[in-house]
């Protein structure tokens, strides 16, 4: 069977982890409890930056910066390979009326990021659809958003082109196969599967899975709701963020507005309260949305983790078991670096970023 790796979870992190391993010839089986990429990866907004990057630890920043630099080439490569363009769209991002503007600017100077104060009149001129009620703006150029449902389709397409990849959907993993302390496969609804390595990339569901080994992984579901408007192309030339909410333009005039942060376990039913709240935010940010059609309203479950620092690496005392999970609000942002790092560690290559902050050792 060669060197077989089972990847649990077909979200952006599972798919990209599988792709990085399969590209170098590893035999990979991806197991997904539902449909490919229909959980948090599909539900997110796809801003290729943490919402407030200066509020995170250097561990998150390191993965974010590597990924931001890598996204344009990832988008091009996937479009060429599959004919599906993930639309990595560089619009820049305006933050309005921030409480911690000084910290943001100090962080940008320290990290060498292109973030600067902009006179409000200049922001209004750049984004004519903006509401009146704002007094201060900072802008970071070059920030992109990715059309995440297309990114997931493209990743799936790229994997399906490879002869050494199998994807099994509707195949929940119920536990692990062990030989002594070593993990040698998984128990699934469709039978046992043996593997040399198992990668858990199951997002908000990762902790439930590791609990079957008696491991306490502090990852839990955090619900977020979003709405999607259809507007004319060019209605919103840049992403905007104010009062903990954001608006993201797609190339074709769709605009996403998000999001809530709710601690309600695994319930992802969209609620009327959230819809009303998101609509109110949308109109406050962009008054023209008052007359726009709400195309969709949905919810997803983020894999909440302490300080948003993901778990990437081998689980000590459980040889053969690897993690790439717990990305909280930044799974789409951090996926390229996280999956590169995981592959580097599994293939014993020199790691793309310092792996120490993400190591499961001492964190479980």
Spatial separation of the C-alpha atoms in residues 293 and 359, rounded to whole Å: 45
- Mean pLDDT computed over 11-39: 97
Kindly report, residue by residue over 23-35, the tens digit of the pLDDT: 999 999 999 999 9
Q: What is the DSSP letter of 349?
A: P
| Residue 75 banded pLDDT, cuts 50, 70, 90 | very high
**DSSP-derived 3-state class of residue 274:** helix
274: alpha, beta or left, given left = phi > 0 and alpha = psi -120 to 50? Answer: alpha
Q: Indicate whether this model's pTM tops 0.75.
A: yes
Tokens of 351: 């790691």
pLDDT score of 2: 56
| Residue 9 banded pLDDT, cuts 50, 70, 90 | very high
Q: Residue 7: is its pLDDT beyond 90? A: yes
Q: Hunting for tokens 């703006």 — which residue is that?
A: 137
- Mean pLDDT computed over 236-250: 96
Spatial separation of the C-alpha atoms in residues 338 and 351, rounded to whole Å: 10
Of the candidates 284, 221, 251, the residue with the CA atom closest to the CA atom of residue 43:
221
Of the candidates 129, 98, 127, the residue with the CA atom closest to the CA atom of residue 115:
98
Question: What CATH class is the domain 93-140+220-304?
Answer: alpha beta
- Mean pLDDT computed over 276-292: 95
Kindly report, residue by residue over 202-231, the tens digit of the pLDDT: 999 999 999 999 999 999 999 999 999 999
- Mean pLDDT computed over 281-293: 95
Q: What is the mean pLDDT of the chain?
A: 96
For the domain spanning 4-48+150-219+307-358, the CATH number is 3.50.50.60
pLDDT score of 231: 94
pLDDT score of 189: 86
| Residue 1 banded pLDDT, cuts 50, 70, 90 | very low
Domain ranges of the chain: 4-48+150-219+307-358, 93-140+220-304
């Amino acid at each position: 069977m060669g060197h077989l790796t089972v990847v649990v979870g077909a979200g952006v992190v599972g798919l990209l982890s599988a792709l990085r391993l399969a590209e170098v010839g590893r035999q990979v089986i991806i197991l997904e409890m539902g449909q490919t990429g229909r959980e948090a990866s599909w539900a997110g907004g796809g801003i290729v930056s943490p919402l407030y990057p200066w509020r995170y630890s250097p561990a998150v920043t390191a993965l974010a910066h590597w990924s931001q630099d890598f996204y344009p080439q990832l988008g091009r490569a996937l479009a060429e390979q599959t004919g599906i363009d993930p639309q990595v769209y560089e619009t820049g991002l305006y933050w309005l009326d921030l409480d911690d503007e000084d910290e943001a600017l100090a962080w940008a100077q320290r990290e060498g990021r292109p973030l600067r104060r902009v006179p409000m009149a200049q922001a209004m001129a750049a984004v004519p659809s903006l509401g009146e009620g704002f007094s201060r703006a900072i802008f970071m150029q070059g920030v992109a958003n990715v059309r995440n449902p297309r990114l997931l389709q493209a990743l799936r397409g790229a994997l399906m082109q490879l002869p050494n990849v199998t994807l099994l959907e509707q195949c929940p993993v119920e536990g692990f196969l062990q030989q002594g302390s070593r993990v040698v496969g998984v128990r699934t609804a469709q039978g046992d599967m043996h593997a040399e390595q198992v990668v858990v990339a199951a997002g908000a569901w990762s902790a439930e899975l590791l609990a079957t080994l008696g491991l306490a992984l502090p990852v839990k579901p955090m619900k977020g709701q979003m709405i999607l408007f259809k507007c004319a192309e060019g209605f919103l030339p840049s992403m905007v963020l104010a009062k903990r909410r954001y608006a993201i333009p797609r190339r074709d005039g769709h605009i996403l507005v998000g999001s809530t942060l709710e601690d309600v376990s695994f319930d992802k039913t969209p609620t009327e309260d959230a819809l009303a709240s998101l609509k109110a935010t949308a109109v406050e940010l962009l008054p023209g949305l008052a007359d726009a059609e709400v195309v969709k309203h949905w919810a997803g479950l983020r894999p909440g983790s302490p300080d948003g620092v993901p778990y990437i690496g081998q689980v000590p005392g459980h040889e053969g078991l690897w993690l790439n999970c717990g990305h909280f609000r930044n799974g789409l942002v951090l996926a390229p670096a996280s999956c590169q790092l995981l592959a580097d560690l599994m293939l014993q290559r020199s790691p793309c970023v310092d792996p120490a902050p993400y190591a499961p050792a001492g964190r479980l």
